[in-house]
Amino acid sequence: MSKRRPLVAGNWKMNGSRAESATLVSAIKQGMSTVAKAEAAVCPPFILVPLAAEMLAGSAVAWGGQNLSVHKSGAYTGEVSGPMLKDYGCTYVIVGHSERRAYYGEDDVLVADKYAAAQAVGLIPILCVGETLQEREASHTETVVARQLDAVINKHGIGSFKNAVIAYEPVWAIGTGKTATPQQAQDVHRFIRGRLAASDKAVAENMRILYGGSMKGSNAKELLAQPDIDGGLIGGASLQAEEFLTICRAAD
Ligand code: PGA
């Protein structure tokens, strides 16, 4: 692990009642007293963001959204905007998660627009990239990841990456229990950093690149030991406080 401060972010997806979320948030908040260096964040469903905000205010744990509208306000039924997330004290917002790309038709252009909408209000986008199994098997991993990154670099400039986090999430590893091997993950992380370095070495060196895809307490250590893996974006395991905290400790 480098000088970059590790970040472990929980992507709760569409899970949790108010009561369950309060229990989870409270346990994570308490458990963070055993974590020295790593930063932790939780990204609950929109409707639970106010609960997280209220419980985590002034604590070491940050919070964020899982998505946002490209618009600031207006007649967009069902949408939630960047200013609304900011109003609730969010630090981060996940952008371009593969589930949104696959199920909600978010393409590279829309993802780049959401990335900019987040930064426009001072939110830090966690930009997700990653290949499907089919793409990996066809040896297209680097082409796909490069295309997803370039869509943002070309539109908003390499300088915008000073205020961003990248998450490499191979689609075949998400929610499947099939984790990328540390070497597979490291190879893509190094590729991503190299891609940024081609435009700006300092930005590349400071960029936090998280791994996501079935990361859990038992495999976090070896993934996080890789030189270009700076933390994790955690789905399933972020719903159990002890698992999540074990990953935070491994990132320390
Ligand atoms: P998972 O999800 O940890 O459940 O694989 C990760 C993600 O989708 O962010």
pLDDT at residue 69 in the model: 98
Q: Is the CB of 215 under 6 A from ligand 1?
A: yes
- Between the CA of 42 and the centroid of ligand 1 the distance, in Å, is 13
For residue 2, being part of any structural domain is answered with: no
Is 18 part of any domain?
Answer: yes
Mutation pick for ligand 1 pocket among 12, 233, 244 (CB with most ligand atoms within 8 Å)? 233
Q: Which parts of the chain are beta strand (E)?
A: 7-11, 39-43, 61-65, 92-95, 124-129, 165-168, 208-212, 231-234
Q: Kindly state if the Cβ of 170 falls inside 6 Å of ligand 1.
A: no
Q: Which of 97, 106, 131, 135 is flagged as catalytic? A: 97
- pLDDT score for 1: 43
Evaluate whether residue 137 is within a structural domain.
yes
- Ligand 1 atom with the smallest distance to the CA of 237 is 3
Residue 17, domain member (yes or no): yes
Residues 2-30: pLDDT tens digits? 589 999 999 999 999 999 999 999 999 99
pLDDT value for 2 = 55
Classify residue 228: in a domain, yes or no.
yes
CA-to-CA dists, residue 146 to 22, 30, 184, 212, angstroms: 39, 39, 16, 17
CA of 236 to the centre of ligand 1 (A): 6
In a domain, 25, yes or no: yes
DSSP 104: S
Nearest residue to 37 (alpha-carbon basis) of 240, 241, 228, 224: 224
**Centre of ligand 1 from the C-alpha of residue 234, in Å:** 5
Give the number of domains in the chain: 1
CATH classification of the domain holding 151: 3.20.20.70
Residue 125 CB less than 6 A away from ligand 1: no
Index of the ligand 1 atom closest to the CA of residue 238: 3
* Pocket lining: 213 vs ligand 1, CB cutoff 6 Å: yes
Is residue 1 one of the residues assigned to a domain? Answer: no
pLDDT score, position 74: 98
Owning domain of residue 240: 7-251
pLDDT beneath 50: ranges in the chain: 1
